[in-house]
Amino acid sequence: MQMSTEDAVKALTSTPSTITRALELVAGNNQQMLLLQQEILRNISILDESRMFLQQFLSKINEPVAEITSDVLHAVAAYFDPDTLRAFIAKSSQQSLQILDLLSSAKSNWKWKDVMLEVIFELAPAAEFWEQIQFRLTHSTSIEEMSTLLRKTRQVPTKELVTSVNGILLQLRRTTPLSSEDKLAVLKHLLERCSNMDDMDGVNFQLAVAYCPLSAIDLLLEYLPRNCVTGEIILSAAARNRTDGPDIMERLLEMQEPYAAVASRVIISAVQNNINALKFLLELYGDEMKITADILMYARGYSVFDLLLFYTRDDVMAAAPMALHLASRYDRKHLKLRKMKSLLS
């Protein structure tokens, strides 16, 4: 006996047992079965004992779940627990990409959204969804979602992952709803993943020290191979951070980083932004440091200039004429001009 569409829809307003009977009646007709499925899922919220029913509903059908639409997915997510949701998505495995697309465009506060992502990735290799994963990783503001996605990237080729890691680090550097603690939690997940990468060339870990520099550096030192945490990364963090500059420098001392690993642009950043970090740097590397005209050009204020002069007087005197020439071209009223002129007079 076959059932009309009207009877199937009418069954939706009845009890789970009535719907179970309806499913049995249309079992031999795929078209009616798919129609009935879709109507049941779309109207699932009006059913009595709906949680118990969905499990029973899924156990009765062998065909793939009907086309998943946003309202169907939203209804299922709103009314069922994670275990039931797992069963639903397992029946929808052929449409995992469609579900993932819906999740990518959905609001981040969808109930059980993170569970859906995890189940989808359990059912299919993450490499098949790489574009969607990459989009979510670089746009998400959910710690749970990002953690789930990062765990699944173990199936993604290293070369492709590097691009995404840099995108995540850049996203964390921007102003987002994530707190500093949340950002560090995401960074930790990233580092756990990166520590297993065969080749981390191209990962810009200087982006990681742009927020919570001291804590971020400690995470870098804990999780990454020693050769990945360079003095340049640490010094760039110290130059940007006035409060923790000296403490960050102590990490450098502990590492016994050779001066050759320190780029001139890091020193320039220090003379521009952080006199405490610069002093620590000069005390540590003063004998090896080469102060050039470019560095003098960026020195801000007499105090920075005096500090450079005290620790590296010969270099400053040698570089001052060129620095004076360069400075004269850009700003004839620059205060550092007076200092350099007095040195050369």
pLDDT in tens, 132-180: 666 766 676 666 667 666 666 666 666 667 777 777 777 777 656 667 7
* Per-residue pLDDT tens digits for 272-299: 666 776 777 777 777 777 788 877 777 7
Classify residue 239 by burial, with Cβ atoms within 10 Å: 0-12, 13-18, 19+.
buried
* Contact predicate 305/278, CB 8 Å: no
Asked if the structure places residue 219 within a domain, the reply is no
Spatial separation of the C-alpha atoms in residues 44 and 47, rounded to whole Å: 6
* pTM of the predicted model as reported, rounded to 2 decimal places: 0.50
Confidence of residue 224 (pLDDT cuts 50, 70, 90): confident
CB-CB contact of 293 with 323 (8 Å): yes
**Residue 6 belongs to domain spanning:** 1-47
Q: Which of 269, 267, 279 is nearest to 309 (CA)?
A: 279
Task: Match 């400075």 to its residue by tokens.
Answer: 327
How many structural domains is the chain composed of?
Answer: 1
Q: Is residue 194 part of a domain?
A: no
Q: Is residue 2 part of a domain?
A: yes
| pLDDT on residue 288 | 73
Contact criterion met (CB below 8 Å) for 28 and 1: no
The reported pLDDT for the residue numbered 324 is 74
Mean pLDDT value across the chain: 67
The reply to whether 39 falls in a domain is: yes
Q: At what angle do helices 180-194 and 143-152 cross, to 10 degrees?
A: 0
pLDDT bracket for residue 226 (50, 70, 90): low
DSSP three-state, residue 337? helix
- Given a cut of 60, whether residue 323 has pLDDT beyond it is yes
Token pair in block for residue 251: 């990490």
pLDDT band at 127 (very low <50, low <70, confident <90, very high): low
Mean pLDDT throughout 92-120?
Answer: 61
23 belongs to a structural domain: yes
Helices 245-255 and 213-223 cross at an angle (nearest 10°) of: 20
The overall longest dimension of the chain from CA atoms, in Å, is 109
84 pLDDT tier (thresholds 50, 70, 90): low
Q: How many other CB atoms sit within 10 Å of the CB of residue 248?
A: 26
**What single string gives the DSSP state of each residue in 200-266?**
-TT--GGGGGGSSHHHHHHHHHHHS-GGGS-HHHHHHHHHH-TTTHHHHHHHHHHHT--GGGS-HHH
d(CA 327, CA 345): 17
Judged by DSSP in three states, 66 sits in: coil
Report the pLDDT value the prediction gives residue 181, as an integer from 0 to 100: 80
Q: Is residue 307 part of a domain?
A: no
Residue 310: predicted pLDDT: 83
Tens of pLDDT along 32-68?
A: 666 666 666 666 655 555 555 555 655 555 555 555 6
Q: Rounded to whole angstroms, how far apart are CA atoms 112 and 118? A: 10
Q: Which of 48-62, 99-113, 312-326 has the highest mean pLDDT?
A: 312-326
**Residue 25 covered by a domain:** yes
User: Does residue 195 sit within a domain?
Assistant: no
Q: Give the pLDDT confidence score for residue 294 in this predicted structure.
A: 76
